[in-house]
Structure 1
Amino acid sequence: MLKNGRANAVRFTTPEAMCRMLECQPVDLPEWVPDDEEER
């Protein structure tokens, strides 16, 4: 699942559905930034 960090992949339909719901383009979706220096 995306929200708990256990996703291994994202299907192409996931960002499409998110963009339809948020009325945005894929480039507008947030970028993941690690909380901890060790994760970088």
Structure 2
Amino acid sequence: MTPAAQDEEDSGIHCRLDELLAARGMTLTQLSERVGVSIVNLSVLKNDRARAIRYSTLRAICDALQCEVGELLVLAPRA
């Protein structure tokens, strides 16, 4: 992979969805039902493969998890 392709793929943002779900005893399926977002799309976000997220989706996830955006999305440590 070229350096440019790597930069494009690695946003430097980490999604803590797994940790927040575990802390709240909630499954990805339950979150999907609460926010109206497919499990596939939530999985893409959870695995740090998302390239974008709508503010409305971000708000819905934060509301369902009772968290702030900064608890869900954090800067990943630089390699």
The structure in which a higher percent of residues are helix is 2
User: What TM-score do you get using the length of structure 1 for normalisation?
Assistant: 0.51
SS of the counterpart of 2:45? coil
The partner residue of 2:69 within 20, 26, 36 is 26
User: What TM-score do you get using the length of structure 2 for normalisation?
Assistant: 0.33
Quote the RMSD (CA, aligned, Å): 2.3
Matched letter for residue 17 of structure 1 = A
Aligned counterparts of 1:4 and 1:27: Cα–Cα separation in 2? 17
Identity of aligned residues (%): 39
When residues 2 and 21 of structure 1 are mapped into structure 2, their CA distance, relative to the original with a 3 A threshold, is: same
Number of residues paired by the alignment?
Answer: 36
Listed as ranges, the gaps of 5+ residues in structure 2 are 1-43
2:60 equivalent to 1:17: yes
The one of the two structures with greater contact order (alpha-carbon pairs below 8 A, sep at least 6) is 2
The structure in which a higher percent of residues are strand is 2
When residues 6 and 13 of structure 1 are mapped into structure 2, their CA distance, relative to the original with a 3 A threshold, is: same
Aligned counterparts of 1:7 and 1:24: Cα–Cα separation in 2? 19
